Amino acid sequence: MHRLPVYENGWPVWLWMRWNESHHRPDLRYSGHLEAGQHGVRLELEAPRQLILPHDFEQWHYVLHNAYFAETENACEEWERGNRKKSAHRIQTEKEKSWEKIFDVANSTSVAAVIEYIRLDQVRAIHHFIAR
């Protein structure tokens, strides 16, 4: 993983860096974090930047669905029309290259991230909650 030079092939831990425009951390009053009534824990962390890979949460769905990420619908349609004469390998390579844009989070309202592991000394706060 060229974006995380110290990555050691561990399983990624998902994080929120900015949940939405008005909350940096997840608002636990919202449903969807866990099943209603289930006990959960939210950790607040502080970790070195080089260990964290932030990405636009909404744009991550392009990767998740193996879809080409274009800035506009017209650009996507144009790319799809051009695929008729391309090999499957080339199409996949172009999709993967388009995903690089998800790491530009400067104007993103919802920023998720991954870290390879969480060390105890990186935990700044522990918040227990019951899901709604």
**DSSP string computed for 38-90:** -EEEEEEE---GGGEEEEETTTHHHHHTT----SSHHHHHHHHHHGGGS-HHH
Q: Domain coordinates of the chain in residue numbers?
A: 13-130
Q: Give the amino acid at 68.
A: Y
Confidence of residue 41 (pLDDT cuts 50, 70, 90): very high
User: What's the pTM?
Assistant: 0.83
Residue 52 reports pLDDT greater than 70: yes
Q: Report, as an integer, the average pLDDT of 23-48.
A: 87
pLDDT tens per residue across span 66-90: 999 998 999 999 999 999 889 999 9
As a whole number of angstroms, the distance between CA 24 and CA 39 comes to 21
Say which residue, 22 or 91, is predicted with more confidence.
91
131's tokens:
């899901």
Q: Which residues contact 130 (CB under 8 A, 6 or more apart)?
A: 37, 38, 39, 40
Contact (CB, 8 A) for 18 and 24:
yes
Residue 1 confidence (pLDDT): 54
As a whole number of angstroms, the distance between CA 42 and CA 98 comes to 32
pLDDT tens per residue across span 90-120: 999 999 999 999 999 999 999 999 999 999 9
Contact (CB, 8 A) for 51 and 119:
no
As a whole number of angstroms, the distance between CA 14 and CA 37 comes to 22
Grouping H, G, I as helix, E, B as strand and the rest as coil, residue 46 is: coil
